[in-house]
Amino acid sequence: MSGAGAPKLQVDGTGLKVVVVAAQWHTEVMNGLLAGARRALEQAHVTPTVVRVPGSFELPVVAAEAARGGADAVVALGVVIRGGTPHFDYVCQAVTWGLTEVTVRTGVPVGFGVLTTDDERQALDRAGLPGSGEDKGAEAAVAAVVTALALRGLRGAVVEAQDGVPRA
């Protein structure tokens, strides 16, 4: 199982502004991913803004706008299932590169909840649905919140170090 060895993270994201950007293709899988992300964010004391986009290819542009608009973290949810053409490879590469660029250019973490699977069964097994082996929506949400909190702490330490004034 690909989730073996994943850390169990408990986090309090009170006060964080989190935007979940979720694709609409593959409705059953996406409903599971979105429900998992919402559950994890609720447990972290975060009420997200949810934005739906047509497909995974559209995730980076909306994630970038959320980051520029003041989000502390973004959770990107989508699914790309391999077909009989190279389209799968192009979409997966574009989405991964695009979301990475959002994170690096804005300094806002993006939880990567985009499933790239060979078939629908693999996607369903990662969607956090009853009977699924994994909940990648929840994992992406927790990763985004934990990273946002780490960055907040790091940025506070850097500010303190630059001016010598202790921060609470």
Residue 153: give the domain boundaries: 18-162
The region of weakest confidence among 59-63, 89-93, 94-98 is: 89-93
Residue 10 lies in a domain: no
Residue 27 lies in a domain: yes
For residue 135, the cross-strand partners are: 127
Residue 47 lies in a domain: yes
Count up the domains in the chain and report the number: 1
Percent of the chain with pLDDT over 90: 80
Give the residue with greater pLDDT, 45 vs 168: 45
Instruction: List the CATH number of the domain containing 81.
Output: 3.40.50.960
Residue 12 lies in a domain: no
d(CA 52, CA 103): 19
Global pTM exceeds 0.95: no
Residue 155 lies in a domain: yes
Residue with token string 């502390």? 72
For residue 48, the cross-strand partners are: none
Residue with token string 């192009």? 90
Residue 102 lies in a domain: yes
Residue 6 lies in a domain: no
**pLDDT level of residue 84 (50, 70, 90 thresholds):** confident
Give the residue with greater pLDDT, 85 vs 136: 136
Q: Which pLDDT score is estimated for 1?
A: 44
Give the residue with greater pLDDT, 3 vs 113: 113
Residue 7 lies in a domain: no
Q: Which of 45, 87, 105, 155 is catalytic?
A: 87
Whether 26 sits among the annotated catalytic residues: the reply is: no
